[in-house]
Structure 1
Amino acid sequence: MITFFQEREIEKFLLEKKISGNLLAEIKDHMISQILELQCSKKHSFNEAFDKTKLNWGEDLILVRKNLFSRQKITKIAYEIDKAQNKKLIFKSILYVCGFTVLQILLAYSLDKRIYLNVFSIFLLSLALSPFLVLKMYIQQKRLQAKNKSVIINNYIHPIFAFFIAFSLNQFIDLPTNGLGVIYDYINFNSKTGITTEIFTAGMLNSIFLLTFLLISILSLKENIRRLKQAGKIYN
């Protein structure tokens, strides 16, 4: 039987290893199970069983740099989880953008130009408002971080940096002033409008990279806020 104070001792050990949130709860449950098993099968005291359990977790709990751009250290198990989550987030962003690009092309084939431009004018309006959304989410994240200082956020691409990259891309690619109609004009009229394959390709790549980095920024902030709120519920 694990007492309240023994459970707190396990939590303190994990917090010293910079583990928090759901991961702390999961590892703590595993450790308690292992300690109880050692106490029953080997007749160990709590301290003996806890020491052996810590040795068993030794490799997973060694400290490594949380990413290439940070000197801060986290446990190896947290690093592996963060790496998987970051890859999943980037893949999800690319998948969404590819789906949106296919939708753009299909709508360019099927809609009248005026309707097409009206539809994507609404999209451009949403894009214009995205800086306010990112700023709002970032402020919310910082406020939650101030309340949950034990939670380590590990984004391989910082959300604000990703947002900056997204909106810097337009400065490096020379597109026609009617950039919204580039896809439509190229698909439906091709050479008649003067939209060359080079201009079309530049427009598509610009759109894909811009939206991918924008989504990485928004989805990263959304996940960070979710984790911080979850940690707040656990500790409160």
Structure 2
Amino acid sequence: MKRLEIKDLCVAYGGVKALRGVSLSVAQGQTVMITGPNGAGKSTLMKALAGVVKPQSGQIFLGGHDVTGLSAERVAVAGLSMVPEGRHVFGSMSVLENLRVASGRRRDKAQVLADLDSLLDVFPMLKERTHVQAGLLSGGQQQMLVIARALMTAPTLLAIDEPSLGLAPKVTDQVYESLHTLQARNQLSLLIVEQSSARVVMTGAHMVLLRSGQVVLEGSARSLDAQAIEAAYFGM
């Protein structure tokens, strides 16, 4: 089953086209990673998916339902949870409070508690700091917190914009290891923007390479030729 399907999506800012007919899909339990140089349209794609910007044309389906042009709130209700670029924690609130606030709309309280326990097992650094103010956490711990907080909404698709931004390579490894654990445990569907094509290849996920608002290369990251990736990335 396709959790996400984007068809011929176009987004323009004034007279400038940021996305030009982008199409991609994410199946149940699949990880798809979007990469490309600065200005490729990666963040615009995520904003259009989240309902922050309106597409000029094209369609977006979540779980088979057309969510094109819907508000961010309605897209979230449809099953998308977005982790935007830059770690936006509620700094004065504790780690536990950050996690609990995300489950406010859920009625399945027993499952909420089970999900909370499960996530704290996956992120032991958070488990050790449940009563620490989120603003006092390190950058890597805050990144783990915003991912865990997004998952507390029980999404059908988790979208993450630049999870490794500003993090040391070792910390980035820990973030991706946690995502891999969650994906395998829960058949989680992931859409991740990652500027480093080398990091995408390391994960072995399905790669979608954007340049100038268009998909210029797509396929299993480890099966794609390194020279082809470099040529597509730099427009050679």
Question: Is the radius of gyration larger for structure 1 or structure 2?
Answer: 1
Higher relative contact order (CA 8 A, sep 6+): 2
Does TM-score exceed 0.5, indicating one fold?
no
Structure with the bigger percentage of helix: 1
Structure with the bigger percentage of strand: 2
Q: TM-score, normalised by structure 2?
A: 0.22
